[in-house]
Structure 1
């Protein structure tokens, strides 16, 4: 019996693109990789995942529904992305590899967070539901374990529930992230990453 299974290990600190959005003139979401800007890393990371996945699983194509176990190993306990936002980048990369048809195949997913300062990485195992099934249990600890506490970032502690009114952005502060030139006309501004990234229409067209 052929068992539907694949395992992918990608070295390096996992990254998330959950808050990054950039669209072309037709409204289609895109991921630039050669603009020379910081956000190129999202597309390059997906390409790295796709290459590693295919190299580690030659001739494997999983077409059925899947169970996924994702283990994420961060370099630091204090500074790392939200683990719940990590899977999107990973599964988009796996889909690009051709090992799966679509990330909608993932019907069950367990994510575990670990720390490894010397070897940050993620390890993903995919199991076909025709030959594998998942069991999981939650148990009460027999002995007390020191909790890992989380606190709000320092810039939010003093804000409480007060409404924050964003300061208006002056026209002179609109700078294209690609060419570095001021953008004078409002209609020439292309925004991405929830308004954090501004690109002039001329540079935007050159990306495609």
Structure 2
């Protein structure tokens, strides 16, 4: 039935799609579903979101423009995905559930980040614009809170080499993230934004 409101809660540490893409030899992104390895986690997470969205909102379909309020609860403040990347991951699963028609319906969104060591999760509320409107304001605190300071991400260890021998040297000192074998030459692709290497043999078996 058509509706103007839905709420979804999915337990577990939220994950970002960008961390689970592989890249083929042509640089094209691949999102694996059945490789039997670590990268399948995102596809399973998306399926869980779709299942929970539908089971928690039986027969509900929102067809209009939507205001979304997303609360993301991580295990720790020290290490977690970028919250701005989480939205795509979540709405892919919500769209797959049929709760909304297309994630382009999300016209306004509020995202809040929290921490819950014991119960990491996300909570999402969807409000149809025909019945709901959004108001917000930002005001100066009467009593300032302690600042949360963010540091630049640490660079992955890389061998310093000249451009003519870069690919060969990098590959020779790295192992396949799946099978663990040393990689020589150019028989590999990169994954996880260049931080993981997959040999072509594993790529052929998994995809």
Q: TM-score range by the shorter chain?
A: 0.7 to 0.9
3-state SS in 1 of match to 2:112: strand
Which residue number in structure 1 is paired with residue 66 of structure 2?
Answer: 66
Which residue number in structure 1 is paired with residue 203 of structure 2?
Answer: 204
Distance 2:178 2:200 in 1: 11
Which residue number in structure 2 is paired with residue 161 of structure 1?
Answer: none
Question: Relative to 1, partners in 2 of residues 1:62 and 1:207: Cα closer, same or farther, differing over 3 Å?
Answer: farther
Larger mean CA deviation between 118-127 and 32-41 belongs to 32-41
Shift of 1:27: 6.9
Distance 2:74 2:171 in 1: 40
Number of residue pairs the alignment of both structures matches:
198
Shift of 1:71: 0.8
Mark the runs of 5 or more structure 2 residues left unpaired by the alignment: none
Distance 2:18 2:136 in 1: 27
Mark the runs of 5 or more structure 1 residues left unpaired by the alignment: 157-163
Contact 1:7 1:123 survives alignment (8 Å): yes
Q: Deviations over 1:7-29 (max 9, x none)?
A: 10011222223344324678764
Distance 2:147 2:196 in 1: 34
Contact 1:3 1:131 survives alignment (8 Å): no
Q: Does 1:30 align with 2:30?
A: yes
TM-score by length of 2: 0.80
Which residue number in structure 2 is paired with residue 84 of structure 1?
Answer: 84
Q: Deviations over 1:26-54 (max 9, x none)?
A: 87643224334332222221111111111
Shift of 1:67: 0.6
Which residue number in structure 1 is paired with residue 124 of structure 2?
Answer: 124
Which residue number in structure 2 is paired with residue 159 of structure 1?
Answer: none
Larger mean CA deviation between 109-118 and 146-155 belongs to 146-155
- Tell me the C-alpha RMSD between the 2 structures: 2.7
Contact 1:35 1:178 survives alignment (8 Å): no
Question: Relative to 1, partners in 2 of residues 1:57 and 1:29: Cα closer, same or farther, differing over 3 Å?
Answer: farther
TM-score by length of 1: 0.80
Contact 1:23 1:30 survives alignment (8 Å): yes
Which residue number in structure 1 is paired with residue 192 of structure 2?
Answer: 193
Question: Relative to 1, partners in 2 of residues 1:25 and 1:104: Cα closer, same or farther, differing over 3 Å?
Answer: farther
